[in-house]
Structure 1
Amino acid sequence: MPLHLIEIERVKTISKEDFVKNYVRPQKPVVIEKLTQDWPAYEKWSLNYIKEIAGDKVVPLYDDRPVSHKDGFNDAHAQMKMSEYIDLLQKEPTNYRIFLYNLMKKVPMLQNDFRWPDLGLNLVKQLPMLFFGGENSKVFIHYDIDYSNILHFHFHGKKRCILFHPDQTPYLYKVPHALISREDIDFDNPDFEKWPALKHAQGLVANLEHGEMLYMPEGYWHYMKYETPGFSMSLRSLPRKWTNLSKAAYNIFVMRYFDNFMRKYKGQAWIDYKNEQAVVRTHKKLNIPV
């Protein structure tokens, strides 16, 4: 039995007023299909174009290995030249991804290819981060540390995005002192006998194509799978709710430092404890026998 997922609403275009009224204020995801069609990026951005203009840059790579106490917060697992990485993407499936990478700082000409959309969000005017992935590579389900409202643009190929409203957290086996769920849950084909709480989760799904934008409200869980090799760009706006702003501050200034300290102090026992507690706390809250 698959997850209970509803297709995310889609619009071709939208006014600033309607976007704020219908999606930002009610914190409701939406896909805008044609927002980028007047950008140079819509015609130019492909893996071959990135290889051509940024092939000599050495980039950090992440795979789908479980979190280890030996890894720092967001430490990369490997690195290689962008040209070699794109060759790998186009040759065969790979688990290696580029995550939250500021390529535009290293290749400033990319900054001319996109436009800051006027959608009523106070976007943080720092250079956008880029994300790359190979066929079938996955991004562990998580929510963002800063509780931003996110405009997520996809280019070159197809990407499947599963979202959960923050009120679905009790069913997702959230790992304490972290922003993730249990990493051994397969959100493409979950084992409901092993993870019975997931049967109650109500999620949303969108299959993004080249140039489409997904709006992810603050605090939403997101799981992403690259159906084909491709890359994405995110623009961010700080949380509008004071409660989420305070949660973001706690995550950034307290939680991640505490977690890093405990990893160094307790080692793998800390990771194992957190994974165990994800199950114990979830099942206890829902009165599911452990």
Structure 2
Amino acid sequence: MKPDEKLNLQTVDRVKSISPQDFLEQYVKPQKPVVIEQLTREWPAYEKWSLSYLKEIAGDVEVPLYDNRPVSAKNKFNEPHAKMKLKAYVDLLKKGPTDYRIFLFNMMKEVPVLQNHFKMPALGIKFLKKLPFLFFGAENSSVFMHYDIDFANILHIHFEGKKRCIIYPPSETRYLYKVPNALISLNEIDFNAPDLEKFPALKLAKGYEAYLEHGEALYMPEGYWHNMTYLTPGFSMSLRTLPRSPKNLSKAIYNLTIMRAFENVMRKLKGDDWINYKNRLAYRRQEKRLQNDLHRK
């Protein structure tokens, strides 16, 4: 990336607190992101939750681990790359950088006492009580750019350390090199240092950037793309709602049934040839779309 080139990102709005009415009117209805700085200040989790505390209370829980290896037909959709006890994983995080991350893990199901450390926020939308997922990462580990399979509205709350979040609304999908029949952009794109000569369409995508510290919550509307980078070892919890839009609800049902099943079948039948074909197609489609946009101008 040239020094004078960068992604087209604006800073996400920040508020210390917000009423349910203002949250709905200013952010949910227009589908706009916001960081709520003091949402968790009254939660026991704000004082208790740290990597060391979770190691102590849930250290023997076996957790699924993911890394940044390219998507392979050897793995089913969202299949973990390894497993490890949480206490060993926390030790690994504290030793230094590692690509291993915990992704979409329901720790509260394994350690129910953690459910007493937070409450569903009163923000005018109904969060799913049984689906508070945790995510962990080491210093400089990054989650590939993707959007969630269920098109949920997400409240992403960070604990311990600092995290950078790059997010894009669904309207920018046309510039993000989306892989067909998948929820991701091309794996080789590093959104922290993108090669804008190789991936020029990224310059046209209009997104947002937010930095989260302990206890801060980022609201990401349904269908938003997101890339998360842990600037220090830490973990986050996501609370989610069902999509409010009937169109997005139908997309979620399609993703969870037809798309996921078809992807697993094709990986089994075609192997990595299927993955490579989709990656080539993503790039070709993006180049064609970019040329069409430039021609119209």
Residues 162, 234 of structure 2: 8 Å contact kept: yes
Structure 1 position 153, deviation (Å): 0.4
Note the alpha carbon deviations across 1:86-127, whole angstroms, 9 max, x for none: 011111111110001111111111011001111111211214
Query: CA separation in 2, counterparts of 1:41 and 1:163?
Result: 26
Residues 2, 188 of structure 1: 8 Å contact kept: no
Residues 159, 214 of structure 2: 8 Å contact kept: yes
Residues 105, 127 of structure 1: 8 Å contact kept: no
Q: 2:92 aligns with which of 81, 84, 88?
A: 88
Q: 1:110 aligns with which of 114, 117, 120?
A: 114
Gaps of 5+ in 2: none
Provide the TM-score with structure 1 as the length reference: 0.98
Note the alpha carbon deviations across 1:52-84, whole angstroms, 9 max, x for none: 001111111110101000001111111111111
Which deviates more, 172-181 or 195-204? 195-204
**Quick check: 1:222 aligned with 2:226?**
yes
**Quick check: 1:194 aligned with 2:198?**
yes
Give the aligned length. 289
**Quick check: 1:263 aligned with 2:267?**
yes
2:187 corresponds in structure 1 to 183
For the aligned residue pairs, the C-alpha RMSD in angstroms reads 1.0
1:14 corresponds in structure 2 to 18
Query: CA separation in 1, counterparts of 2:109 and 2:248?
Result: 29
**Quick check: 1:151 aligned with 2:155?**
yes
Paired amino acid for 1:40? P
1:204 corresponds in structure 2 to 208
Query: CA separation in 2, counterparts of 1:161 and 1:192?
Result: 19
Query: CA separation in 1, counterparts of 2:165 and 2:190?
Result: 14
SS at match of 2:69: coil
The 5-angstrom pairing of residues 48-67 of structure 1 reads 48-67=52-71
Paired amino acid for 1:132? F
**Quick check: 1:74 aligned with 2:75?**
no
Provide the TM-score with structure 2 as the length reference: 0.96
Q: 1:235 aligns with which of 232, 239, 242?
A: 239
1:41 corresponds in structure 2 to 45
SS at match of 2:235: strand
Query: CA separation in 2, counterparts of 1:71 and 1:285?
Result: 30
Structure 1 position 213, deviation (Å): 0.2
Note the alpha carbon deviations across 1:103-156, whole angstroms, 9 max, x for none: 111111101100111111121121411110000011110000010000110000
Query: CA separation in 2, counterparts of 1:82 and 1:61?
Result: 10
1:278 corresponds in structure 2 to 282
Gaps of 5+ in 1: none
Query: CA separation in 1, counterparts of 2:83 and 2:173?
Result: 33
2:7 corresponds in structure 1 to 3
Note the alpha carbon deviations across 1:220-255, whole angstroms, 9 max, x for none: 000000000000001111111111111111111111
SS at match of 2:291: coil
Which deviates more, 117-126 or 163-172? 117-126
Query: CA separation in 2, counterparts of 1:10 and 1:266?
Result: 47
Residues 131, 240 of structure 2: 8 Å contact kept: no
Query: CA separation in 2, counterparts of 1:184 and 1:273?
Result: 15
2:167 corresponds in structure 1 to 163
Q: Which runs of 4+ in 1 moved over 6 A?
A: none
Query: CA separation in 1, counterparts of 2:137 and 2:271?
Result: 30
Query: CA separation in 2, counterparts of 1:223 and 1:128?
Result: 19
